[in-house]
Amino acid sequence: MKNHLLCRALLCGAATLIAGSVAVAASHREAPLIAMDPAADNTDVYAFVSYDKYNLDRQPDDRRVTFILNVNPGQDPGDAPNYYNFADDVLYRINIDNDENGKADDDVYEFRFKTENRPIGGPGGLTSPVPYLGNTHITNALPLQGIIALDGPGSEGLTRRQTYSVTEIRDGKRRELFHDQLLIAVPSNAGPATMPDYPALANQGIYTDAQSGMRVFAGQRAETFYIDLGAVFDTLNLRRYLPLLTAAEDSDFVNPFGVNRFSGSNISTIAIEVPISKITSDGRPAAKTKHPVIGMYASTYRRKTMEWMQVSRMANPLVNELIITTPTKDKWNAGAPENEANLQAFYKDPVIATELNLVYGVPVVTLDGSPTHARTDLMGILLKYPGQALDGANCGQPCAELLRLDLRVAPTAPENQSRLGAALSADKAGYPNGRRPNDDVTDITIRVAGGVNYINARAGDGVNFLAGAPGQVGVDITKNGIARNFPFLPTPYDGKNRRHVDCDESGPGANPCGPLVP
């Protein structure tokens, strides 16, 4: 029993390392069709008990949970003049299963966006010429003021603006949330002349529903997913042979040798924070509810004729890269998580184990002793709730690929979070118990997929945290880039001063190079 529980903790959420199977990870451009549709591309999905001061100071019955959906991968902050927006013709959804039946339709949050083109300088226009940055922002509106508001005075520079709606569907009944407020998506961070105080501007985009206690945010944030993408997808060319990390390098505060592809990049974020009792099956707090473990996934839809058609989904990071092979990736994105039994053959024999063995010549040894080509352990971890048995060598029912979160586990303060989460550390509030923005799913995956030998070798990509995240250390962020407050991703890098930190680049936050694998 002890070994089974260890296996579940360690294997719940493997990541892809298979060269040629995807273009970008975690789920950035992971399938052929969605790679051409960035506004609908689920890149990363997060679910965790909120860890700001409010929730850390509260009793368990009063805590809240945050769900995050990211799209528009790999944003270079300086890509002007047309910055990054959500799509008006995409339906964004966060789907929750709160009764452990595998169908995430018990509580659903829908987000729809509407783009408006506004007169330059606002309804009254401008009395003198000003520099103009395309159809999104202008510099020095009403002059030298810049954009300091999302609406009303100070917002005149927003010549293209997005508003949005939030709809809750609970037990099949629809209810519009935040209906008495104008919800405005926070625009891209063009730079200090255009937006002289971007953090203050972004804070205006956090809306609270007085009746429900929910909070919501939509807009640009800094990309917190970190990975040496070039090395990983150059056939696991992780710049070193095993052992990959020393004990000193296996740290939450050291980036020993990897090159973070997403350093200096931004992402488009939808975040909603909900009191825990609002999402449990019986409306009770986590310690008292019948089903304290929930499952969730995020999905996006486009219309085909009159019907909404799902084009992307994501729960556990990297499943579509690791488990599902290329010919089936688009079909998987369009499918329902509760139908994953149809794809169980992929889970039984994942190609990542073969790749690790081929590249490093070190055999994969599963943690529970199951055969490497008949891994029922992965089905039990990724497709079942705790305590739900498999049907012999098959998944059985229910069988659903969901990101699962135990709402009873208290949050860990940002400065104490371990990047290895519940899988490989004592921090039980992190991945695979849900997922937080800074959990190191890449290193967890490499070690877990490889088993004992790769855990002992401290396998990893050499990128352990987000270096150089914008914000004031100790106030907005921790020294390793963890945002302390909702929406729990740091201030986005600005278009004028952004910096992509490369291996051996001088200056703060730069990563030294390790020896290259020949």
Model confidence at 26, pLDDT cuts 50, 70, 90, reads: very low
Amino acid 8: pLDDT = 33
Nearest to 488 by CA among 28, 177, 13, 54: 54
pLDDT at 265: 93
Give tens-digit pLDDT for 246-259: 999 999 999 998 88
Cα–Cα distance measured from residue 30 to residue 21, given in angstroms and rounded to the nearest whole number: 8
Phi, psi at residue 189, to the nearest 5°? -85, 90
Q: Specify the pLDDT at position 518.
A: 35
Q: Is residue 125 part of a domain?
A: yes
pLDDT interval class at 135 (50, 70, 90) = very low
Number of domains in the chain: 1
Q: State the average pLDDT for the chain.
A: 85
369, pLDDT greater than 70 = yes
pLDDT above 80 (res 222): yes
Whether 77 is covered by a domain: the verdict is: yes
Burial class for 321, CB neighbours closer than 10 Å (0-12, 13-18, 19+): buried
> What is the per-residue pLDDT for 125?
53
Helix boundaries (H) for 341-431? 344-348, 351-360, 376-382, 421-424
Tokens read off for 26: 């975690």
Give the domain extent around 82: 2-456
**Least confident interval from 19-33, 233-247, 370-384:** 19-33
pLDDT in tens, 480-517: 999 999 999 999 999 988 776 665 566 555 555 554 44
Query: Considering the domain boundaries, does residue 509 fall inside one?
Result: no
Q: Name the least confident of 21-25, 347-351, 459-463.
A: 21-25
In this predicted structure, which of 136-140, 293-297, 349-353, 512-516 has the lowest mean pLDDT? 136-140
| pLDDT for position 323 | 78
The pLDDT score that the predictor gives to residue 145 is: 75
d(CA 482, CA 495): 21
- Indicate whether 87 belongs to any domain: yes
DSSP string, 220-276: EEE------HHHHTTTS--SSPSS-S-TTTSSSS---S---TTTT-EEEEEEEEEEG
Report the run of H or E that residue 218 belongs to, with start and end: strand 215-222
Does 301 map to a domain? yes
Instruction: Name the nearest CA neighbour of 467 among 508, 435, 433.
Output: 508
Task: Give me the percent of the chain exceeding a pLDDT of 70.
Answer: 84
Within a domain: residue 142?
yes
Q: What is the pLDDT of residue 411?
A: 97
End-to-end alpha-carbon separation of the chain, Å? 43
pLDDT at 480: 92
464: in domain: no
Rounded CA separation 156/322 (Å)? 47
pLDDT tens digits for 402-420? 999 999 999 999 999 999 9
Residue 116 lies in a domain: yes
